Amino acid sequence: MEMLDRAYFDHAATTPLDRRVLEAMLPYLSSLWGNPASLYAEAQEARRALDGARRDVAGVLGCKPQEVVFTSGGSESASLALRGVAYASRDRGNHIITSAVEHHAVLHTAERLEKEGFRVTYLPVDREGFVDLAELERAVGEETTLVSIMLANNEVGTIEPIEEAVRIIKGKNPRAAFHTDAVQATGAVEVSVERLGVDLLSIGAHKFYGPKGIGALYVRSRTPLQPQMLGGAQEKNRRAGTENVAHIVGMAKAMSLAYEEFDARNAHCRSLRDRLLDEVPDRVPYVHITGPKDRSRRLSNSFSCCFELIEGEAILIALDLQGVAASSGSACTTGSLEPSHVLTAMGLPLDLARGSLRLTVGKGNTMEEIDRLLEILPGTVSRLRALSPQWPEREAAEKRP
């Protein structure tokens, strides 16, 4: 497929692999193929790489290397955090708190735990996607063993007040473990576990220019965690299976680069995002920006909105035909006609939530690409709206004095 003239605005779904990351990985996909658990020289090279990568990831998170567990990605990290803590703490209580706007990796795991006998509270959010901290304070009790609230939302970019939420939890029940899903936040927000105060934190490499199928879970020392993948003693008995050395090396490299280049990358994304936030409402009628109004409280790369009287899927197809890759929300709901659970939890009416568009920019995007999008978007929206049976009436109502 000819991709040269295309503009990719779906970095929340995944990011391209950074060339420097690929180069760091290549030796471990070719000559250095030993199993890090073995004792001979070939294995020791792999062991050294694994240990180095663990130190690098721990360095960015500000934790001890032994507190990092490598997994197959963000979903597995979140699932291990929730199931691992819920089952390891079952003798102390069976109550879990999470939010209504979590990624399905957390929500579906929480729903399964509910079926297995745990009690789960789903915290509501306000119109901008912020978790209701008063409800959090009311919900936490002696029986609560785990709280899981995301650091940043993948659909509308809301950065949740995790430090405050942790203070509330630890003030009322210091033994409750706090997990944050930082999959979308990594690279866009500082992820120091000490500053955040969390006990567990999930990351996934493919959101910050690393490879797919690799992630990590930070687990604070002495946090009870029952392994979910059983077998060998890898990852200090917390996750069995021969480590994916090349991908782990790639993730560590991608994470180091993301924080070495943090200021430049985020300033660049912010300038592109701000142009979208400024211009789209001016150029397209009947559009509602979703997510936080305060731009410092939304991810630097995230623009999201809902168009009245259009299906989000129709915009995506029309944009794709014009060379633009965009999303209606999370990649996992693409293909489903259900409106996003995030937008409905934020109180958007169903028909408006169906007209959602998410544009997430990255370090490779240019202002020229944004300009091109801003040129094609108004015409695309008005052509699609003209097909809506409600449009003539809506237009006439607007024209009435």
Ligand X SMILES: Cc1ncc(COP(=O)(O)O)c(C=O)c1O
- Told to check if 148 binds ligand X by CB under 6 A, we report no
Beta strand 144-148 with 177-181 is parallel
Q: Kindly give, in sequence order, each residue whose CB lies less than 8 Å from that of residue 42, ignoring residues fewer than 6 positions away.
A: 32, 33, 34
Minimum gap (Å) between residue 105 Cβ and ligand X? 4
Q: According to CB under 6 A, which one of 215, 312, 339, 362 is a site residue for ligand X?
A: 215
Considering beta carbons, is residue 46 or 105 the nearer one to ligand X? Answer: 105
- Told to check if 181 binds ligand X by CB under 6 A, we report yes
Main-chain dihedrals φ then ψ at residue 216, nearest 5 degrees? -150, 155
Considering beta carbons, is residue 154 or 244 the nearer one to ligand X? Answer: 154
Minimum gap (Å) between residue 141 Cβ and ligand X? 27
- Told to check if 105 binds ligand X by CB under 6 A, we report yes
- Told to check if 83 binds ligand X by CB under 6 A, we report no
- Told to check if 68 binds ligand X by CB under 6 A, we report no
Angstrom distance (rounded) from CA 198 to CA 147: 10
- Told to check if 276 binds ligand X by CB under 6 A, we report no
- Told to check if 75 binds ligand X by CB under 6 A, we report yes
- Told to check if 204 binds ligand X by CB under 6 A, we report yes
Residue with the closest Cβ to ligand X?
A: 74
Angstrom distance (rounded) from CA 58 to CA 143: 31
Locate 287 and state its tokens: 């559009």
Q: Half-sphere exposure of 355 toward its Cβ, with a 13 Å CA cutoff? A: 18
Considering beta carbons, is residue 42 or 338 the nearer one to ligand X? Answer: 338
In order, the DSSP letters of 40-93 are SHHHHHHHHHHHHHHHHHHHHHTS-GGGEEEESSHHHHHHHHHHHHHHHTTTT-
3-state DSSP assignment of residue 38: coil
Q: According to CB under 6 A, which one of 103, 239, 253, 298 is a site residue for ligand X?
A: 103
Count of Cβ atoms closer than 10 Å to residue 81 Cβ = 33
Of 131-139, 178-186, 257-265, 343-351: span binding ligand X (CB under 6 A): 178-186
Locate 195 and state its tokens: 């500053």
Chain positions 326 to 345 lying near ligand X, rule: CB under 6 A, are 330-331
Considering beta carbons, is residue 15 or 380 the nearer one to ligand X? Answer: 15
Of 88-96, 135-143, 181-189, 298-306: span binding ligand X (CB under 6 A): 181-189
Q: Do residues 200 and 178 lie in contact, with contact meaning Cβ atoms separated by under 8 Å?
A: yes
Q: Kindly give, in sequence order, each residue whose CB lies less than 8 Å from that of residue 253, ignoring residues fewer than 6 positions away.
A: 18, 20, 21, 24, 25, 56, 210
Q: According to CB under 6 A, which one of 24, 36, 50, 74 is a site residue for ligand X?
A: 74
- Told to check if 73 binds ligand X by CB under 6 A, we report yes
Angstrom distance (rounded) from CA 369 to CA 324: 9
Q: According to CB under 6 A, which one of 110, 150, 193, 345 is a site residue for ligand X?
A: 150
Q: What is the dihedral of CA 128, 131, 134, 136, to 10 degrees?
A: 170
Token look-up 């609230």 returns: 149
Minimum gap (Å) between residue 128 Cβ and ligand X? 17
- Told to check if 250 binds ligand X by CB under 6 A, we report no
Q: Do residues 248 and 213 lie in contact, with contact meaning Cβ atoms separated by under 8 Å?
A: no
- Told to check if 129 binds ligand X by CB under 6 A, we report no
Cα–Cα separations (whole angstroms), residue 60 to 20, 55, 218: 18, 9, 11
Q: Examine the residue annotation and report whether 305 is marked as an active-site residue of this protein.
A: no
Considering beta carbons, is residue 27 or 241 the nearer one to ligand X? Answer: 241
- Told to check if 211 binds ligand X by CB under 6 A, we report no
- Active site positions, annotated: 332
Q: Which residues bind ligand X (CB under 6 A)?
A: 73-75, 78, 103, 105, 150, 154, 181, 183-184, 204, 215, 330-331
